[in-house]
Structure 1
Amino acid sequence: MTLSRRDILGAGAGLSAALLTSAAAEAAPEDKTLGAIAAKSAITFGTSIAADTLTSPAQATLYLEQARIFTVDWAMVFGNLRPEADSFHPGDADAILAFADEAGLPVHGHSLAWNESRPDWLMALSKSGKQKALDRHIDETVAYFAGKLTAWNVVNEPFWPGHGLPGDFRDGPWLQAFGQDYVSRAFRRTQMADPNARLVLNETMTEVWTEDGARVRAGLLNLVDRLQHDGVRLDAVGLQGHLDPARPHDDAGFVDFLHQLAERQVDIWITELDVDDSSFPADIGLRDAAVAARYRDFLNAVLTVPAVKTIITWQLADSASWYEHAAREANPDATRLPRPLPFDSGFRKKPAFDAIVTALKGRAL
């Protein structure tokens, strides 16, 4: 059976999800999937998902089979929802939510306040105009999706030392509008619009063992302290985990950082896990083994921390990876394509799958 884009993105989304859920059950025994294996170790395993996944029955089946939570990939970021000042385009997000709902899977929204999603019309506004834009975006967007999302990445990537600003905050429209207080403002307004959604602060580069990584970690701990001191509800801290083995890393040091976060009584999520394989040999067998080893070592370390509750890969199959999209955009004729995820472009398991399973099964409860 071939499912069209209209079948899944339109009125047939629910039926298509039901059919694919049945197909997923036949494709892999429940106790052999990443989601089921993770659950036995008190971990919710999931993946990001984009609307184009829904037009590929094989990919959609894989995602339903393996995941126990979806993160919306790009469909909910500011620039996608509001490409023009008076527009609101939730269609792709609505399709993902309908698909997940039919399968009984929770969805994690990504993201409300991210300084890198800044269409030209937004940047042309005055300071007061940007202030109104953020308040309106959070109030209207969270209200629109209220009751349909289990959690929100309320603020994404608040830090970037390279911008040279006080506190190492990332520059952008929201920092320009409110200063550092945009973070607490976003959390308070999100809670008001949907009191039942879990509120997550999501950050990148914390696993990188460089001066910039250290500054991001320090800034993040300080921000968590400030939010808690000010009575702002913060349920979880998300750490992206875009692993680049070519950059310095220290898994034991990262675990120490996770314990510091855990002492602040927040759950910890790994929210965008994948492995950059660009520094590995061209040979696919050697490269896949190296990617698997990085997954194994990172997760073996991370999963020793009880506060780690959720592991989400940034897509599941190589063909959906942002690394592959970037490689094809740079060179449409490229013969070496990235292989950063646990399934290949044909949706077959790779050594990374087995490495993740081994790490999950090795978690001591």
Structure 2
Amino acid sequence: MKLSRRETLFALAGLGLAGKAQPGFAAPASLGAIAAEQGLLFGTSIASDTLADPAQAALYRREARIFTVDYAMKFGFLRPTADSFQPGEADAILAFARASAIPVRGHTLAWNESRPDWLMALSTAEMRAALDRHIDETVGYFAGQLHSWDVVNEPFWPGHRLPGHFRDGPWLDAFGEDYVTRAFKRTAAADPAARLVLNEAMTEAWTEDGALIRKSLLGLVDRLQHDGARLDAVGLQGHLLPQKPHDDAAFADFVAELATRKIDIYITELDVDDTVFPDDIGARDAAVAEHYRQFLTAVLAVPAVKMVITWQLADSASWYDHAAREADPDATRLPRPLPFDAHFAPKPAHGAMSAAFTARRPA
């Protein structure tokens, strides 16, 4: 049987034969291994194009102990039309992870920003049916294959100026605030084994919007538990923005308060926006690394934090890099927000993360 190019790349990456290090280069201990020594699960988001580059696939396989599917399980990607369901890219990621014995997180079932045009043209009753069908079919299709689901993503956005600071969108329109509880209960029924996660952004920003989101998130967790919905963990994304006010110690206090609800805490989308740091790469990388060190040192002092996931591992795969190239294809100052550079070499951020993991005491 002749393998396709993609299948060959998956096989090479799975066997660890792809992306050999250059002569004389000694790879540091993996972030996944260092975190595991302290009882933490470290991982990264991953997209199907990662698997097409053997060196990148090998890096992700070596460093991560868990993957989050980047975009291939989002509503609009799985269902670009009303009568379609396209899980092929997600299936490819799951096959790669399975060959490497790495668990996978599903991302995400109900997110009001994933709203294809066909969905927005539906009536309220049709929207309700669309969400129920999506959860039942999607969770059922992947049942038994996933560590966890981000069931609801980013439920709050104060900028939409709605009651309760909820994010506007089709699911809020269709069900009101009850869409959150409904999504959790249907997901639990479709796959009782998967851990169920509520994932939110901007909680680490010490701004007016950040304060409103933190307060609203605590209230939503209380409501889910009161309504009898199973909630195993809360994901706090951690897209760190040094240009905005932040207080790592105070954020850790918020994480500790959240943990009193007897749930685990995951840091789910960690990276550092380096926009305000110097152009000089050495100085910029040092500033990014220090931001990682301070944030993780504070957050990992909370025993309920069980997982840290970066949003991709290498700078060239970052959403910041993609946005910069889209804005200016000739850009020379490209973002460097992650622990590995575009050539998959470790940066100072890798050392800072390793140090923060090592300083954490196992629970």
Alpha-carbon separation, structure 2, partners of 1:261 and 1:31: 34
Shift of 1:17: 4.0
Alpha-carbon separation, structure 2, partners of 1:132 and 1:152: 20
Residues 1:328 and 2:325 aligned together: yes
Shift of 1:16: 3.3
Shift of 1:259: 0.8
Residues 1:302 and 2:313 aligned together: no
Gaps of 5+ in 2: none
Residues 1:211 and 2:208 aligned together: yes
Match of 1:272 in 2: 269
Match of 1:222 in 2: 219
Matching residue within 244, 251, 254 for 1:254: 251
Question: What is the SS of the residue equivalent to 2:275?
Answer: coil
Alpha-carbon separation, structure 2, partners of 1:291 and 1:24: 27
Query: 8 Å contact 2:44–2:312 — kept in the other structure?
Result: yes
Question: What is the SS of the residue equivalent to 1:32?
Answer: coil
In the alignment, residue 66 of structure 1 is paired with which amino acid? E
Match of 1:49 in 2: 46
Residues 1:361 and 2:358 aligned together: yes
Matching residue within 168, 185, 191 for 1:194: 191
Alpha-carbon separation, structure 1, partners of 2:238 and 2:45: 13
Residues 1:160 and 2:157 aligned together: yes
**Per-residue deviation, residues 58-110 of structure 1 (Å, max 9, x unmatched):** 00000000000000000000010001110111110000000000110000000
Q: Which TM-score applies when normalising by structure 1? A: 0.95
Name the count of aligned residue pairs. Answer: 360
Shift of 1:6: 3.6
Shift of 1:23: 6.7
* C-alpha distance 5-308 of structure 1, shift in aligned 2 (>3 A): farther
Alpha-carbon separation, structure 2, partners of 1:257 and 1:198: 22
In the alignment, residue 251 of structure 2 is paired with which amino acid? F
Query: 8 Å contact 2:76–2:114 — kept in the other structure?
Result: yes
Query: 8 Å contact 1:271–1:311 — kept in the other structure?
Result: yes
Matching residue within 158, 166, 173 for 1:169: 166
Query: 8 Å contact 2:18–2:55 — kept in the other structure?
Result: no
Bigger mean CA offset, 352-361 vs 24-33: 24-33
In the alignment, residue 57 of structure 2 is paired with which amino acid? A
Query: 8 Å contact 1:188–1:232 — kept in the other structure?
Result: yes
Shift of 1:335: 0.6
* C-alpha distance 231-40 of structure 1, shift in aligned 2 (>3 A): same
**Per-residue deviation, residues 185-241 of structure 1 (Å, max 9, x unmatched):** 000000111000000000000000011000000000000000001111000000000
Gaps of 5+ in 1: none
Alpha-carbon separation, structure 1, partners of 2:221 and 2:356: 29
Alpha-carbon separation, structure 1, partners of 2:192 and 2:9: 28
Match of 2:14 in 1: 18
Question: What is the SS of the residue equivalent to 1:74?
Answer: coil
**Deviating runs (4+, > 6 A) in structure 1?**
21-31
Question: What is the SS of the residue equivalent to 2:337?
Answer: coil
Alpha-carbon separation, structure 1, partners of 2:222 and 2:26: 44
Alpha-carbon separation, structure 1, partners of 2:215 and 2:132: 28
% identical equivalent positions: 68
Question: What is the SS of the residue equivalent to 1:286?
Answer: helix
Bigger mean CA offset, 238-247 vs 23-32: 23-32
In the alignment, residue 12 of structure 2 is paired with which amino acid? S
Query: 8 Å contact 2:19–2:56 — kept in the other structure?
Result: no
In the alignment, residue 359 of structure 2 is paired with which amino acid? G
Match of 1:134 in 2: 131
Alpha-carbon separation, structure 1, partners of 2:304 and 2:13: 32
Query: 8 Å contact 1:21–1:65 — kept in the other structure?
Result: no
* C-alpha distance 362-21 of structure 1, shift in aligned 2 (>3 A): farther
Cα RMSD for the two superposed structures: 1.9
Query: 8 Å contact 1:17–1:102 — kept in the other structure?
Result: no
Question: What is the SS of the residue equivalent to 1:153?
Answer: strand
Matching residue within 239, 245, 248 for 2:242: 245
In the alignment, residue 92 of structure 1 is paired with which amino acid? E
Shift of 1:18: 2.8
